[in-house]
Amino acid sequence: MHVVSANGANIPALGFGTFRMKEDAVHAILPKAMALGFRHIDTAQIYKNEAAVGAAIKQSRVPRADVFLTTKVWVDRFRHDDLLASVDESLTRLETDYVDLLLLHWPKSDVPLAERIGALNDVVKAGKARHIGISNFNTTMMAEAVKLSDAPLATNQVEYHPYIDQTKVIEGARKAGLSVTAYYVMADGKVPKDQLLREIGATHGKTAAQVALRWVVQQDGLVALSKTATEARLKENFDIFDFALTPHEMQAIHALAAPDGRIINPAHLAEAWDD
């Protein structure tokens, strides 16, 4: 598995995401994903499936040290003491003493960013998170978070797929040594139907979905989260490291980006995005 190194964190470039997965689906598919080779698992407090993720990791019998486990603190637990308590609750559900990466899930909050970042740092000092980061932050808030943190930030997890231009966020992250973790790579089902991606895939004996995932991880410092509740799709998602896209193909995929390409945009959680 290709690994992305970012400010001391070694993150498997392909992760298994559990957004909108109910606990029974996690129990059914995550052990199979881990048997296939997935070692980066992404969950969050708001997903309400941390307990299932923890149980599935235990069931897989993969040593905990070999798993890169990420969870995220929800916005209603951003006050310092509440954030610390929420992490303890997450660790109990996940059946582990630590997470490899702990993120602030969204940027908008009445809690000062300094308090939030300070709490993340205290979690690191307590040995309950090996690395910390942010999610859905624009370049301005990302830079502010970097300045406020004693511990280096490892990633900014954002929506990223062929139909959205995240150049500014990616460049800002690289400048600060952060990785960018891409979620929603399938663009809510748009990717598998895309004619260009299907044509590129055909030249490599791959699907459009594999092309999109490869497009992400082939970019320097980028991590892709894949997701499926279907066993047949697991191997497809995992099998993206035996081919490479040409520079022309990479550019053609970048050219699919459009001003209205963003899918996830909750006004009560997100700050103003970069143009």
Which sequence positions are flagged as catalytic?
A: 47
Residue 105 is assigned to a ligand binding site: yes
**Which amino acid belongs to residue 193?**
K
List residues forming the annotated binding site: 105
List residues forming the annotated binding site for substrate: 105
